[in-house]
Amino acid sequence: MSLFHYTNASAIYSILRHKKMRATDIRYLNDSQELQDGLQRLAESLERPSYGLFVSDEYRNESIEHLRTAFADSVSFGISEEPLFVLSFSRAEDLLSQWRAYGSYAIEFNEKLLLDSIPSLNTCIYDLKTKNDLSQSLVTKSLMDISQDMRLNNGCVGEMSLKATGKLSKLAATFKQEGFSEEQEVRVVSHASESGYSIHYYPKDDMLIPYVDIEISLDCIQAIHVGPMRGQKLAYTSMRDFIKEIEKSWQSDSGNIEYELEIKKSETSFRSKLR
């Protein structure tokens, strides 16, 4: 199955040259408000857990209060102690809204081979009922884990509690507004520490944006799509010539002498993109 990463010419050049993709701190993306909405939804689920499933009734109230405080802090200040880094893909090919939002190129990946390079993929959730059901289920499971953790640690929270809250924040990062469901987004959602990533920064406007580099193998890239743009034919020619160099270099470095990258033209009209 294919996944598509819509982007611009500069990013295409960097990814193919350096074999790295950039996952950005979610607080600095347009998705940051959706993260806050997701955390708020989880907080609301906290008020109606399935109490009968608690491992330790002794620490039931304490575990609820622990999560309530964690959600309040995250909603107010963002996830700052252990920020989430996000890298997005789409299952939708040649999608006009993606061309408009992210640039005039798209990288097509083989999903199975891509998973050899990245921690995991999370399908974004758009349906309201599904969000509510997952929130309820994971909040209840997290309270079970935290109450057990407290029982084992004389009322203190430990690694089990940290993992539980981390899973909740990751779930919140997959909640998207229903109006964007055509994007069919899937994303890498990861804490830097769990995958051993080093945090870097790049300047954008008057701010330094945190990101991590995720190394990939070019074997997982199937094609480069040239999107709707003025001068598409020339852009296609230039990309084709560049790809020839990339192919030769990767064939030599990897030993995969049959490696080839296909170049495809979008069938969406440039005028449609401008509307």
pLDDT in tens, the chain (275 residues): 999 999 999 999 999 999 999 999 998 887 667 788 888 888 888 877 665 555 556 788 888 888 888 887 776 555 556 788 999 999 999 999 999 999 999 999 999 999 998 888 999 999 999 999 999 889 988 988 998 898 888 888 888 988 888 899 899 999 999 989 999 999 999 988 877 889 999 998 899 999 999 999 999 999 999 999 999 999 999 999 999 999 999 999 898 888 999 999 999 886 667 66
* Model confidence pLDDT, tens digit, residues 172-220: 999 999 989 999 999 999 988 877 889 999 998 899 999 999 999 999 9
Cα separations in angstroms, 28 against 204, 219, 247: 10, 30, 34
What pLDDT score does 212 carry?
95
Q: Flag whether the pTM goes above 0.95.
A: no
What pLDDT score does 102 carry?
93
* Residue extents of the structural domains in the chain: 2-274
Tokens of 116: 């050899």
Buried b or exposed e, range 10-29, using 16+ CB within 10 angstroms: ebbeebbeebebbbbbbbbe
What pLDDT score does 107 carry?
98
- 226 beta partners: 105, 265
If phi over 0 gives left and psi between -120 and 50 gives alpha, with beta otherwise, what is residue 19? left
What pLDDT score does 53 carry?
55
Q: Residue 153's CB: how many other CB atoms inside 10 A?
A: 14
What pLDDT score does 274 carry?
66
Cα separations in angstroms, 254 against 112, 121, 134: 19, 25, 42
